[in-house]
Amino acid sequence: MMAAQPGSHRIFWPTHCAPPITVSPRHIHEQTNQGVDAFCAQVVTALDPQPLHQRRGHPLPVGAVSVGAPSPWANPRQPAEPATSWARAAVTCDYAAWIAARPDLLAAARSQLAGHDLACWCPPGPCHRDVLIDIANPPDNPLDTGTNLMGLALRRPWASLLLVPGHLGGKNVENKTYATDYRGPVAIFATSRVDDAGTRAAQRAGLDTDWHIAQAGWLGATVLIDVHSARGRCCAPWGYPARDTNAARYHWVFAHPARLALPNHGHGFSGLRPVSWSALVRRGALGFSDPRKELNP
């Protein structure tokens, strides 16, 4: 059974999912009546630009820039209010894939927003301000910790299949031997390895197998909404049943994939780790002109 969340008529989530748990590499500040930040998570470093929750009637801290409406940096994909955290995570992934193909906005973000805290009306949690912070202040290595994003490395063509909408035959469950408490946006990286089981699965689903195998590097982002132990065929066909051995099996459930217009190459890694939203953007568009800083798969 699927249920639509308020805030977007396009976004659907399984009804059994618990509220999102967001691992925040950088914390989000709440503004107080005095305009001074009240911390709601541990500070990583006071020198990093931070995402702020903008509240009506409360002035922004000195140097902060509003990226909420009516700012020209407002998210054109903002969900209708009241929006759930799931809906905000979904439109944040949409925004990241969209702006990655807009060199004009990428250049403007670098020149206008770099070094500034960014504020939006969204409450603490997923928001396009996270994307803009990482784009305006890209680390030399996009595998450095970014703003409220995790990266997941998968073999081909599994990575690409995870970014095909379910109603088109795409994959929405990743089978893992370990669990995670993280819930929220996840950037998907396709490694150099090709898995034969994934090839056969793409063929059974009637998808263009050769095309999906060819997709390597950073492919886009999606939302991790649930992780649970495999129970029979609870997530068939993509979720495998529980093992007969003592080895654990977990279903990682994803929703609302947002694919980049073109894959973005980068250094490989293993498993799940914090990354920067700038990983989804081509290095040249972020001002990295030194060929030695261009990342290869």
> Is 4 a member of any domain?
no
* Residues of the domain holding 100: 16-136
For residue range 141-159, what is the model confidence (pLDDT) as tens digits?
Answer: 888 888 899 999 999 999 9
Q: What's the pLDDT at 79?
A: 83
Residue 290 lies in a domain: no
Residue 212 in domain: yes
pLDDT tens-digit readout, 65-74 = 999 999 999 9
Predicted confidence at residue 113, as pLDDT, reads 97
73 and 157 together in one domain: no
Do 193 and 236 sit in the same domain of this protein? yes
Report the range of poorest mean pLDDT among 92-96, 240-244, 257-261: 240-244
Residue 293 lies in a domain: no
Q: Are residues 157 and 230 in the same domain?
A: yes
Same domain for 202 and 97, yes or no, is: no
The 10s digit of each residue's pLDDT in 271-281 is 999 999 999 99
Residues 160 and 127 in one domain: no
Residues 207 and 121 in one domain: no
Q: Are 31 and 62 in contact (CB under 8 A)?
A: no
What band does 290 get if pLDDT is binned at 50, 70 and 90? Answer: low
Q: Is residue 230 part of a domain?
A: yes
CA separation, residue 222 to residues 94, 123, 128, 189, 286 (Å): 9, 20, 14, 11, 22
pLDDT of residue 62: 94
| Contact by Cβ (8 Å): 77, 94 | yes
Domain count, the chain: 2
What is the Cα 59 distance to its own chain's centre? 29
> Going by C-beta distance under 8 Å and a sequence separation of 6 or more, which residues neighbour residue 206?
169
Residue 198's CATH number: 2.30.130.30
Looking at the fold, whether 156 and 261 belong to one and the same domain comes out as yes
Q: Does 23 share its domain with 70?
A: yes
Tell me the range of 228-232, 255-259, 292-296 where mean pLDDT is highest. Answer: 255-259
